[in-house]
Structure 1
Amino acid sequence: MAPVALVTGAASGIGAAVAALLTERGWTVAGLDLKPAQELPAAVAVDVSDSAQVHRAVGAIREQLGPIQALVNAAGLYEMAPVSDISPAAWTTMLRVHLGGLRNAVHAVLPEMIERRRGAIVAISSELAIGGGDGDAHYAAAKGCVVGFVRSLAAEVAPYGVRVNSVAPGPTDTPMLAPDSPWRDPAYLATLPAGRLGTPQEVAHAVHFLLDGPGFCVGEVLSPNCGAVI
């Protein structure tokens, strides 16, 4: 029986690329998204910031497909704003989706992984969590929280055979980056050693490595970023 992976944010961007690659590599993939990707074996419309919704969806997926052996947390949102323009609501939403969504998904899948003494979790962070960015304070803060959560959880559950890691991409060519985004500006791209944006497929390969690769990777942060942070 093919192993089951749960991917949040599976309908577009990095999440969709991860779901496609894992499917190609023999995984059965279930997706959670506000607008789910119907081509997956199980696709559920979920607001990842709502713990009850996530728990119900994971229960239904487990009943349909069997034990969940991997979680990839890719659901997210992005916006730029100077700190003076970040409203309390925008700040809270950014944290609820990125950090709260990760917590909710982990909370739903982790007990079974610990009981089975097997599992892998990969959370998508951002190179902005490492290097920061002008106009990205609330996004970078939320993604920085993801890294701290991953490293702490990795230490907590490694004795139970559960591996927890993160992938922190640089600017990536997804619909999340608007056509007029400064990250698409040729002047910015010229500052990158690779001279271009990353692709969702490249990020997906980093995720796949952490799921199917060496078992000693625990608490790691891989950052495929075309040289934005070296």
Structure 2
Amino acid sequence: MIIAVVAGVAVVALVGGGAYVYFFSGLRSSPSPLALSTPTASASAAPAGGLAGTWTVTTGSVAGYRVKELFVGETSKHEAVAQTSTVSGSLTVSGDSSGYQVTAITFTAGLTGLHSVDSVAGRNVVQRDSYVSRQMNLQQFPDATFTASAGLVPATDGSGAVDVSAAGKLTIHGVTKNVAATARAQLNGGRIEIVGKLSIDMTDYGVSPPSVPFTTVDSQVTIEFQLFLTKS
């Protein structure tokens, strides 16, 4: 009898929840937040001609989201994490080690490339991705774009990581809002590496939290990114 009830609940969850709801399991894990990589001893050397110039996003860059979800019967939330490597953009650096200025910041992430990278025992979390695609109408709004006219960068000789920030505009789902991004940046193998995040409420962008049986999804979302840029 108990087995039949459990099986029935599983069927309802799979059918009624659009294959998005997970079995009631505490066996779940999420990758750590994105962080700066460990550079080699010579990786902090500035490129020939210095840092001033236009820098363009290159391979190895990723962007994604983190959002908390609570399964019925559980007391702790699970962090759903998805990432995409479809990232492009550029920025311009001027000045010297006594004071750099960063301007013309534009980064775009292709959201159709998002894929879940967390895990929940007994479930294929990749099934979440198709639900997110429908919820965000990615056929019509396939990209998210961040733009800023300038960023704040402290004086540095390029030998270590620095804190940077930028107040700009984020466009998702056809809606543009003012946001503030914080990040850490360093020189790494002749490239600039930037790792940061910003927080949004999905409802501000016309996206409702998923409403499915047995699962509650927060509206607060953390957007994170790890960008590698080469000098053009």
TM-score range, shorter chain: under 0.3
More strand by share: 2
Q: Which has the higher relative contact order, 1 or 2, with Cα contacts under 8 A spaced 6 or more apart?
A: 2
Q: TM-score, normalised by structure 1?
A: 0.24
Question: Rg: which structure is higher?
Answer: 2
